[in-house]
Amino acid sequence: MECMIDILPSAETVQRPSLNLSMSSRKQKLNLRVILWNAANVVPLGGYTTDVFTVCQLLGEYGQVEDEQQTDVHPSCKQDELANFNWRMKFKKQDFPNPKKIFMLRLQLWEKNTATANKGIAEGLLPIESVFRECAERNLGRASA
């Protein structure tokens, strides 16, 4: 941690404006990396087993999808087993802080069906604004976050 202190006579303070050291004045490009390992308690919609996959969406301004990625399909998932993925996703660089965006991650679990349209099983929203903020504050001043 660095600290700079200027002690000046009050007459000189008018000539030298103070520096803005707040986070909002320093934008950083941050990547979001997500690892999906397992999905538990998956309930098959139409039978004893189901083929499932997950979709991750990074939401930005007004809930619009900034980026979307999905895993491969876990075949024949039963209700009492885990759907295993071990899938890594890397979302594109985002400017942070950005007052127009409240970053959220939408996680969806889908049933894969080749004959008809895929069906949604579950969905959840995860607020990640605090994760971005913590990362930006921890890496403030470094070239790579």
- Name residue, tokens 């979709």: 55
pLDDT at 105 over 50: yes
| Cα radius of gyration (the chain) | 23
Per-residue pLDDT averaged across 69-81, rounded? 85
User: How many other C-beta atoms can be found within 10 angstroms of the C-beta atom of residue 27?
Assistant: 13
- 1 pLDDT band, cuts 50/70/90, is very low
- 99 pLDDT band, cuts 50/70/90, is low
Q: What percent of the chain has pLDDT over 70?
A: 83
Tokens found for residue 82: 């885990």
Per-residue pLDDT averaged across 22-43, rounded? 77
Q: What is the pLDDT of residues 49-67, one digit of tens each?
A: 888 999 999 887 777 888 8
Helix spans in 58-118 (H): none
pLDDT at 136 over 80: no
